Structure formats: structure tokens, C-alpha cells
Amino acid sequence: MSDTGKYVFAVQIEDSDRFIDIFGPSVSSIAWDDIVAGYRQITQKLLQRYNLLSDVVSPSWGRCFVIFGIKQSSMLLDMEEQISTLTAVSRQLVREMLQENLGMATGSHLDFKTIVAPIQKGLGDIQKINERLNTLFKSLSRISSPFASITYDEFAKIIERKKIETLVQSIVSLPNEEIVGYETLSRGPSNSAVQRADLLFGTAAHFGLTKELELLCIERALKWITKVPAPLWMSINIGPALLKSSTFLDLIYQRHLKPFLPRLVFELTEHLPVGSATEFQEIVQNLKRNEIQLSLDDTGCGFFDLNTVEKLRPEIVKLCITVINRIGRSSDISKEIKDTVTRIARFGGKTLGEGVERKEQLDVLKQCGVSLAQGYYFDRPKSAEKAFKIKI
């Protein structure tokens, strides 16, 4: 079949260099190889009715593109309409692939752009196409992938009616693998468009309701701290904006919770911008004066997060799933993990490896001196009611 037109399908991760700073060079290199491979699978699936005219081009960390052409048989359909459909579908596929490969370090705030656009005549050189993409991407507003199909009013009602389920996953000490605590996880209503955590929190961010959702999740989770047998502790997720909120402090400093504060760990779920950790120091010190502990989520092996560790001195620092998933792919990764554990310990913190699924990963974490672990290797998240065999 002859080609009657050429188009480019491109993806760009916004502020992509920060992931190198977060994960370190070894993990980042392997993660990018996996992302390119995932993007190749997406193009084969997304563009199966077209002619692929190039392999995946990856000119830099954070950008991929392919060139494709229209088959004669596809010309019965309006190409403008197809571009709109391809763009919408690609965003969802790319978002899922990036979240899988970059882990929850991306959270629900992973910003990226996708472009499906015709190539101008005479623009056949790969380098020129890449230069053209610079202009096209700059012309796009910052776009995150669309989330679940739910209206603002429908989502607001979920929060208003407190239709959030609390799950827990055990955290074990290393090397003896004994349960020492639980992380609480929140899910949307069963069989709803926002049951999954990424869709739940992504939709909240989309509608500007993140603080309201987080506050509800914390409120629901706190009901279970009285049911967790001592001396086990409970970790609860919180974003930076809510951590600074007086509403949050009013919630946790209720009189009936005071005896349980030493068994509470609040897990900061987003990477703080460089230089902003200082403004949280007094807030964190206030928590510590009340014997509440701090945990940093989704930490990599790069310098990016270690500045935050130095400033805030969290009791627990969680290694991101992106790091754990690459264990065994390179000896350099084990070395970087060990160095990171040593540096975190220097600031008085314990390291937790999350997303542990294989014994090989567990063995490496033990060898590197990691103190805590959680993941499917030990157990899957379950409803708090089932875990503690009580209904509230």
C-alpha cells in the first residue's frame, strides 16, 4: 500500500531531567530503556492500521517519537478526526506506561505531552523533525493525561459522603522480616470510575480537590490507629500543601488521639521543589515534639531528595518502586542503594524498600543494609476490616 502522508507521534515528559536527579544515573538509564521499549509497544498497538516509517527515535531522556504514514485503505476516514482520537488514546496508554516505569515517584502529577501531527513537506530529516517538535511542544499548554470519566459534582459527592475505603499493607523489619507497622492506602468506591488510587488522586488533582480528599483519607485512616495493636505503628500519606494546613493539625491533635501519636508516621508523598524543604522544618519539628514521625515517600538514589532528607531528618525514607524494580539489572544499582542507605543513616533515618516482589530484591536490600520493607512478597493490601478483624 502506498503512503499518502507522513505524521509524527511524539511524547515528551515535562521536566524530565529531575527524574535523573531523583533516581541516579544507573536506575535512570535502565528505566529509560524500559520506557522506550514500552513506547515501542504502544506505537505498534496504536498505529497498527498505519505504516510505521521509522523505529522509535529517542533523542534525549524524556522524549520519544516515531514517523508513520497513512495507508490508502485508511483514507476513507477523516484524518483530523483520527488525529484527535489517536491523541486521546495515546495519552492514556502513555500515562499508564510511564507510571508503571517511573513508579509512584510520578504520583498523580506526572506531566507529559503527546503530539500527533502531520510532517511538513521537506521535513524528512530526523534532526529537523526533532527541532520542529521543540516548537510544537512549547506551543502546547501543560497537559496531564485525562483521568476517569466522572464529573466534578459526582466526585465531590464521594468526598462529601466519605465513600473512601481504607486498606492496609504490612511493613516488616529486616533482616528478621517481622511485622512492625502498616501503611494505610485509600481507594475509591468499589466498581466506580475512581476505585484505583491513581485515578482517585489524579481526579482530585484535576478538580482541585486534593486537600479535601487527603484530609478525608487521613480522617478515615486515623479511626484505625486505635485498633492497631501496640507497639505496631501506622503510616498515613499526606501531601505538602495539607501538611502546612491548620485543618490537618486540628485533626491529628484531637484529645482522644494523643495516646496514639507516638505510633503515627506521616508519609510525605510528593517531591519537594529544590530549596523548599526549609519552610517545612518548623512544621516537622512540631510533629516530632508531639512524638509523631515523618517518612519521605518515593526516594531515589540521586542527590535530589537527599537535600530534603538533610533538612527534615525523617525517621523513615522509602526507596521508590522504580529503584526496587531495577534490582538485578546492574551491579551499579546495588552500589547506589548501599550508598544511599549509608547517607540516609548519617542523617538518622531508616531506609524502607517498597514494592518488593521477589526474593532476589529482598536479598539485595538486606545486603545493602535496608532496615524495612513492604510489598507483594510479604502480602497484598487488604481492607482494614479484614486485616484487624473488626468493623468500625
Please give the torsion angle defined by the CA atoms of residues 84, 90, 91 and 96, in that order, rounded to the nearest 10 degrees: 160
Mean pLDDT of the chain: 88
Average the pLDDT over 104-111 and give the result.
55
Average the pLDDT over 88-110 and give the result.
75
Residues near 387 by Cβ (< 8 Å), separated by ≥ 6? 168, 182
Average the pLDDT over 284-311 and give the result.
86
pLDDT greater than 60 at residue 74: no
Closest CA to 288 of 314, 267, 306, 251: 314
Average the pLDDT over 127-135 and give the result.
87
Distance CA 230, CA 248 (A): 24
In the Cβ-directed half-sphere of 16, how many Cα atoms lie within 13 Å? 17
Q: What's the pLDDT score for residue 75?
A: 52
Average the pLDDT over 92-107 and give the result.
75
* Range 262-295 burial, b when 16+ CB lie within 10 A, else e: ebbbbbbbbbbeeeebeebeebbeebeeeebbbb
pLDDT greater than 50 at residue 119: yes
pLDDT greater than 50 at residue 68: yes
Q: For the chain, how are helix, strand and coil distributed in percent, rounded to 5? A: 50, 20, 30
Give domain 3-139's CATH superfamily. Answer: Reverse transcriptase/Diguanylate cyclase domain (3.30.70.270)
Residue spans per domain, the chain: 3-139, 152-388
Q: Where are the beta strands (DSSP E) in 131-228?
A: 165-173, 179-187
Identity at 229, one-letter amino acid code:
P
pLDDT greater than 80 at residue 72: no
Average the pLDDT over 88-107 and give the result.
77
Q: What's the pLDDT score for residue 1?
A: 33
pLDDT greater than 60 at residue 349: yes
With cell 479535601, the residue in question is 212
CATH number of 152-388: 3.20.20.450
Residues in a beta bridge with 318: 352
Closest CA to 146 of 212, 94, 213: 94
Q: What's the pLDDT score for residue 146?
A: 52
The pLDDT-based confidence of 109 (bands split at 50, 70, 90) is low
Average the pLDDT over 29-39 and give the result.
95
Distance CA 214, CA 77 (A): 45
Structure letter (DSSP) for residue 124: -
Q: What's the pLDDT score for residue 198?
A: 83
The pLDDT-based confidence of 122 (bands split at 50, 70, 90) is low
Cα–Cα separations (whole angstroms), residue 271 to 19, 81, 109, 304: 11, 38, 11, 9
pLDDT greater than 80 at residue 392: no
Q: Which helix or strand (DSSP H or E) is residue 247 part of?
A: helix 246-252
Q: Report the share of the chain in percent with pLDDT over 70.
A: 90
Structure letter (DSSP) for residue 202: H
> Residue 254 burial (CB < 10 Å; 0-12/13-18/19+)?
exposed
Is the N-terminal amide bond of 381 cis, ω within 30° of 0?
Answer: no
